[in-house]
Structure 1
Amino acid sequence: MNDLGTLEPAGDRWRLRFSRDLAHPPELVWRAVTDPEQLAAWFPHRISGDWTVGATLTFTDPLDRAPAFHGTVLACEPPELLEFEWGTDVLRLELTPRPGGTTLVLLDTLDERGKAARDGAGWHECLDLLALRLDGVTELWLPGREWAELHPRYVAALGPEASVIGPPPGYEPS
């Protein structure tokens, strides 16, 4: 299992930071973070829209637990940088070539510190799914299955102030 993400202040907001060394070239990782079919294997919502700065994205839950919502593409510099609004959060994916592959950094800027443990566990699992997908594993689970195991680790690591908001209705792990 990969190291836990970290939480850091970001002005009047908070930022979760994750880093993964992937054994794949940036172009392959870029497709995994922008192609709708590949995103469906690891991202918690289906994304429709164009990866063009200023474009509107629509996020829909594959299990129909919540209504669709929208975001805006803030930056898109293939194959190095993708940044977009996801609800009240801003997600930023940075891809840096390294010998033997790519370092992927995911930054999730949160408006509420209290959901950091919840979202940290979620993104941790999603990034694990992304790595498996890139490695050619085709039998993957929907994001959320490993959340219940990861969440207590994030609560312990990030503290009680980062753990006051649990999963939204309909997202409780089974």
Structure 2
Amino acid sequence: MIINDPGSYLEVGGRPAVRFERIYEHPVDRVWRLVSDPAELARWFPSPQITIEPAAGGAITFSGDPVMPEATSTGRVLAFDPPRRFAFSWGGDELHFDLEPLDAGRTRFVLTNVLEARDTAARNAAGWDVCLAALDALAEDRAAEQPAWKPKYDAYVAAGLPSGAPIPGQGGA
């Protein structure tokens, strides 16, 4: 991996969002599998059980996350354009995974989390930071480390990302 973007806050279509970018030393088809195949996605995504109807308008179901109050949630696939774009709703948020093939068999991966509420930016950025560390390890065929979430959250708050949303499983920020 060449770029390990720490995450940034922005607006997308007038809505708050957090964005991360990675460049992987793998062809776009391999990175696509890591982000769109339910078995691969479950290895780094917050929900360990995922089902996907791979077409715009299809259902995507998440379950098994021990810190989420609802055992199962269902969203909608917003875009499914292999191997370039996968987007879906998740609760009131939207997740956009955009891939771009680069020279020498590399791939740029951009994750944009369009947020339902502005005050979730620091919380979600810290969560994605932890999840993307697992994706990075998976892409690099190495054991994943489990980085601590709270120091990452504190760093995003200190960097000025909007905060204050409740923390699932902890009762508050």
Shorter-chain TM-score tier? 0.7 to 0.9
Q: CA RMSD in A?
A: 2.1
1:1-52 CA distances to partner (integer Å, 9 max, x unpaired)?
A: 9332111123442011111111111100000011122112110012113211
* Residue in structure 2 matched with residue 129 of structure 1 by the alignment: 134
Alignment of 1:8-157 (within 5 A): 8-45=10-47, 46-63=49-66, 65-67=68-70, 68-100=72-104, 101-137=106-142, 139-140=143-144, 145-157=147-159
Question: 2: CA distance between counterparts of 1:42 and 1:146?
Answer: 15
Q: Which runs of 5+ in 1 are unaligned?
A: none
Supply the AA of the counterpart residue of 2:64: D
The 3 A distance-change label for structure 1 pair 38 and 86 is same
Query: Could you say if the C-alpha distance between residues 116 and 36 of structure 1 is closer, same or farther in structure 2, counting changes exceeding 3 Å?
Result: same
TM-score, reference length from structure 1: 0.87
1:69–1:32 distance in 2 versus 1, CA, 3 Å = same
Identity of aligned residues (%): 35
Moved more, 32-41 or 107-116: 32-41
Q: Which runs of 5+ in 2 are unaligned?
A: none
User: Cα offset for 1:70?
Assistant: 0.8
| Compared CA separation, residues 94 and 150, structure 1 to 2 (3 A) | same
What is the DSSP-based 3-state SS (H/G/I as helix, E as strand, rest coil) of the residue aligned with 1:165? coil
Give me the TM-score of the superposition, normalised by structure 2.
0.87
* Deviation (angstroms), 1:65: 4.3
* Number of equivalent positions: 167
1:95 touches 1:102 (CA, 8 Å); kept in 2? Answer: yes
Question: Structure 2 vs 1, CA of residues 2 and 110 (structure 1 numbering), >3 Å: closer, same or farther?
Answer: same
Letter in 2 for 1:71: G
Label 1:40 to 1:170 Cα distance change in 2 as closer, same or farther (>3 A). Answer: farther
Residues 64 and 126 (structure 1 numbering): CA distance in 2 closer, same or farther, change over 3 Å? Answer: closer
Given that 1:4 and 1:154 are in contact with CA atoms closer than 8 Å, whether structure 2 keeps it comes out as no
Distance 2:171 2:144 in 1: 18
Alpha-carbon distance in structure 2 between the residues aligned to 1:141 and 1:58? 26
